[in-house]
Amino acid sequence: MRKLAALIAFAFGTLVLASACGGGGGAIGKIQTAGRQYSMTKVEVGDRFPLGCSDTRCAVGPPDCSSCLQRLKDGHQVLAVWVTESQGERDDLYYLCVQPEAEEEQIYIAASGGAQSPCTEIVSFWVEEIGRQRALLFTPPASAHGFTLFVQGNPPVDLGK
C-alpha cells in the first residue's frame, strides 16, 4: 500500500511539474532556424515567470521560485513561448533570442497596438517523461495584447494572447 501511495504521489507531482513548466499539449506552431526545428507547445502571459510563483517580486526564476534571476519592470508583463526541439546540427535558438548577429535576426513579438518586445531570455527546465522544456521570454507593456511572434525566415505566428 505504501508503494502504491508513493507511486501515485510521484505521478501526480510529475504531472503538476509538467503543467507548470509548459509540458503537454500539441504544437501550436513551428520555428525553423538554420540549425534546428522547434515546436511551440504553449503560450503563457502573466505578471511573473513561472506563472503562479508566490514571490510577486520575481519575473524570471526557477520553477520552485527559490530565487529571482530578473526583476520585472513596472508596467510590463511576461509572455512565455514554450518550445521543444527536434534534433539538428546546432542549437541556435539562444543566439537568435539573446545574442543575434544582426538586428534583423532578433526574435520579437508585436502586439495588436503595434508595441514590439524583443526576446529577452531563454530558460530551460528538465521535465520527467517530456524532456527538456524551454521558454522564450518577452516583457511587453502590461496593456499590450494580441501578440504575434516574428522569427526571421518564418511566417508570423499569431500567439492568441
pLDDT in tens, the chain (161 residues): 333 333 333 232 322 333 343 444 567 889 888 888 888 999 999 887 777 776 666 666 666 666 666 667 788 898 999 988 776 666 778 888 887 887 778 899 999 999 999 998 888 776 666 566 788 999 999 999 999 999 988 999 999 88
Taking the C-alpha atoms of residue 43 and residue 61, their distance in angstroms, rounded to an integer, is 17
Q: Could you tell me the three cell numbers for 34?
A: 538554420
Is beta strand 37-46 parallel, antiparallel or unpaired with respect to 108-110?
unpaired
**pLDDT the model gives residue 12:** 29
Q: Where are the domains of the chain?
A: 2-158
Q: How many other β-carbons are positioned within 10 Å of the β-carbon of residue 45?
A: 18
Classify 142 as helix, strand or coil: coil
| Amino acid letter for position 96 | L
DSSP conformational letter for 39: E
**pLDDT the model gives residue 123:** 81
